Amino acid sequence: MTTEMESSSPGTPSMGPTSTPTTGPPGEAHTSPPPDPTLPPSHDDAPDGQDSTDEWDDLPWVRIGIIAGVLAFTGVTLCILRARRVI
């Protein structure tokens, strides 16, 4: 009669049954961790698939305004320089 260790060759892992790791005691239901209060609420929290905030409210309007202002200023400056034949 041979055991599992004797039947496998050295250096070869045994192919016996494996168990899945558990995160808690047996019989305990898996629950998700509580939400982090430092993060903004996600859109998944709203009931019936409706967003609690409008998509337009989530956009970084200040950043968009600064970028648009810089691009407009650059465009006007280039047009003036081109009209004066500096560039």
Cβ–Cβ under 8 Å, residues 16 and 4: yes
Which ranges in 1-87 belong to alpha helices (H)? 4-7, 61-83
pLDDT digits (tens, 9 = 90+) for 38-86: 876 665 555 555 555 678 888 899 999 999 999 999 999 999 999 999 8
Predicted model pTM: 0.39
Tokens read off for 75: 């465009």
Residue 26 to residues 9, 21, 31, 62: CA-CA distances in angstroms? 35, 11, 13, 52
